[in-house]
Chain A
């Protein structure tokens, strides 16, 4: 079964608003990844995090590797309609482990 939890499960926001979502686990992870999936497409890597406390930005997106190594956060500033999609967190517990995906956060942006 899945070992990553994402919240919220879904979000409906107004265009221009900021968005925050998070990913948690009961286990320690060495790598956190954030992906976005549009309908009918495969997931696209947004941000990769490799060190506890690391804060990385990609345009309007900012992600953080939690200090406890059991969580990660993704923020989107000034949302736009093309931000609509499902955001997945994923993690690796060790360098030799397989990638585990969270269940996703569905984002809807109201123009």
Chain B
């Protein structure tokens, strides 16, 4: 069974640009959550999607958005990038909502210059 796939693995963007990250969950999993991981703040929850609906949202500005498609694949978008958005963005999938036993992808390392 394939794991959670995140693309791209690495990304370099310039301040002010926007970026879209993709996550394909484990087959059959309908919940996808996104996290930002930085050395200073650790792992912070961004949002969770289940059956194409956002079920929960963390404390991030509106520049961070996401969506989920009917095949459970999810994308997150960050607009007007700032240097502080440089981080490892992790996606996790689980069978049901609320993500109690989630499986993480390898992440997308975003560097904003």
Residues in chain A within 8 A of chain B (CB atoms): 2, 31, 33, 35, 40-45, 48, 88, 90, 92, 95-104
Contact = CB atoms under 8 A, between A and B. Distances in A.
Contact of A99 (B4, B41, B45, B107): B45
Contact of B103 (A45, A97, A101, A102): A45
A103 B106 contact: no
Interface in B64-113: 90, 92, 98-107
Interface residues of B, number: 23
Contacts of A33: 100-101
Contacts of A101: 35, 42-45
Contacts of A92: 98, 100
A96 B43 contact: no
A45 B106 CA distance: 13
A100 B41 CA distance: 12
Nearest to B46: A98
Interface in B16-40: 33, 35
A98 B45 contact: yes
Given A98-B48, A99-B45, A41 B106 contact: yes
Contacts of B92: 42
A102 B103 CA distance: 17
A31 B100 contact: yes
A48 B98 contact: no
B105 A99 contact: no
B90 A42 contact: yes
B95 to A, nearest CB: 13
Contact of B42 (A42, A96, A98, A104): A104
Contacts of B58: 98
Contacts of B106: 40-42
B100 A48 contact: yes
List 8 A-B pairs, minimum CB-CB distance, nearest first.
A42-B104, A101-B43, A98-B45, A103-B42, A98-B56, A43-B104, A42-B90, A42-B105
